[in-house]
Amino acid sequence: MKNYNITTLNDFITLKQKDFPYAKGELSSLLTHIGTAAKMVNKKINKAGLVDIIGNSGSVNIQGESQQKLDVYADEVFINALLTSGQCCGVATEENQSEIVFTEPFAQKGKYIVCTDPLDGSSNIDYNVSVGSIFSIYRRITPRGEKVRNEDFLQEGSKQVAAGYIIYGSSTMLVYTTGNGVNGFTLDPSIGEFCLSHPEIKTPEDGRIYSVNEGNWVHFPPGIKKYVKYCQEKDAGTLRPYTSRYIGSLVSDFHRNLLKGGIFLYPENETAPKGKLRIVYECNPIAFISEQSGGAASNGCERILSITPSSLHQRSPFYAGSKNMVKKIEEFLSL
Ligand code: AHM
Ligand code: MG
Ligand 1 atom closest to the Cα of residue 213 is 19
Element (H, E) at 76: helix 70-85
285 Cα: distance to centroid of ligand 2 (angstroms): 12
Residue 123 placed within a domain:
yes
Is there a domain that residue 124 lies in?
yes
The H or E element containing residue 313 is: none
Residue 139 has a pLDDT of 97
- Residue finishing a domain among 198, 229, 258: 198
Nearest-angstrom CA–CA distance, 119 and 133: 5
CATH of the domain at 163: 3.30.540.10
On whether both 188 and 306 belong to a single domain, the answer is no
Q: 120 lies in a domain?
A: yes
Output the average pLDDT for the chain.
92
Judge if 48 and 88 occupy the same domain: yes
Domain membership of residue 88 as a residue range: 9-198
Contact of 232 with 226, CB cutoff 8 Å: no
Residue 122 Cα to ligand 2 middle (Å):
7
Please choose from 123, 166, 220 the residue to mutate so as to test ligand 1's pocket, defined by most ligand atoms within 8 A of CB.
123
pLDDT, tens digit, 9 for 90 and up, residues 72-109: 999 999 999 999 999 999 999 999 999 999 999 999 99
The atom number, within ligand 1, closest to the CA of 122 reads 4
Question: Is 3 a member of any domain?
Answer: no
Q: Looking at the structure, do residues 157 and 291 belong to the same domain, yes or no?
A: no
How far is the centre of ligand 1, averaged over its atoms, from the C-alpha of 152 (Å)?
26
Q: With bands split at pLDDT 50, 70 and 90, how would you rate the model's confidence at 65?
A: low
Residue 7 in contact with ligand 1 by CB distance below 6 A: no
272 pLDDT band, cuts 50/70/90, is confident
Using CA positions, which residue lies closest to atom 6 of ligand 1?
121
Last residue of a domain, one of 179, 198, 217: 198
Q: Looking at the structure, do residues 157 and 23 belong to the same domain, yes or no?
A: yes
Residue nearest to atom 2 of ligand 1 (CA): 120
The CATH number of the domain holding residue 225 is: 3.40.190.80
* Whether residue 17 sits in one domain with residue 159: yes
Q: How confident is the model at residue 5 (pLDDT cuts 50, 70, 90)?
A: confident
Contact 117, 93 (CB under 8 A): yes
- Is 283 found in the same domain as 194? no
Q: Is 39 in the pocket of ligand 1 (CB under 6 A)?
A: no
Measured from the alpha carbon of residue 124, the closest ligand is 1
Phi, then psi, of 101 in degrees rounded to 5: -100, 120
122 and 268 share a domain? Answer: no
Within a domain: 236:
yes
Could you say which of 149, 175, 198 is where a domain stops?
A: 198
- Kindly state whether residue 52 falls inside one of the protein's structural domains: yes
pLDDT at 48: 77
Decide if 37 is inside a domain. Answer: yes
**163 backbone dihedrals φ, ψ, rounded to 5°:** -155, 155
Shared domain check, 309 and 265 = yes
- Angle of the 70-85 helix axis to the 26-46 helix axis, nearest 10: 160
Amino acid at 130: S
In this structure, is residue 166 part of a structural domain? yes
- Same domain as 220, residue 107: no
pLDDT for residue 67: 56
Q: What's the CA gap between 103 and 106, in Å, rounded?
A: 8
pTM over 0.85: yes
The partner residues of 175 in beta bridges, in order of sequence, read 165, 184
The model's pLDDT over 212-245, given as tens digits with 9 standing for 90+, comes to 999 999 999 999 999 999 999 999 888 899 999 9
The beta strand positions in 83-154, using DSSP E, are 88-93, 100-101, 112-120, 131-139
Contact 206, 256 (CB under 8 A): no
Same-domain status, 218 and 329 = yes
* pLDDT tens string 110-139: 999 999 999 999 888 888 899 999 999 999
The reply to whether ligand 1 has any atom less than 6 angstroms from the CB of 169 is no
Ligand 1 contact via 249 beta carbon (within 6 Å): yes
Determine if ligand 1 sits within 6 Å of the CB of residue 120.
Answer: yes
* pLDDT given at position 66: 56
The count of structural domains within the chain is 2
Q: Rounded to the nearest whole angstrom, what is the distance from the C-alpha of residue 248 to the centroid of ligand 1?
A: 6
> Cβ contacts of residue 95 below 8 Å, gap of 6+?
71, 72, 75, 118
Residues 60 and 194 in one domain: yes
Is there a single domain that holds both residue 17 and residue 158? yes
Give the residue whose CA is nearest to atom 5 of ligand 1. 121
**Does the CB atom of residue 248 touch ligand 1 within 6 A?**
yes
pLDDT at 55 over 60: no
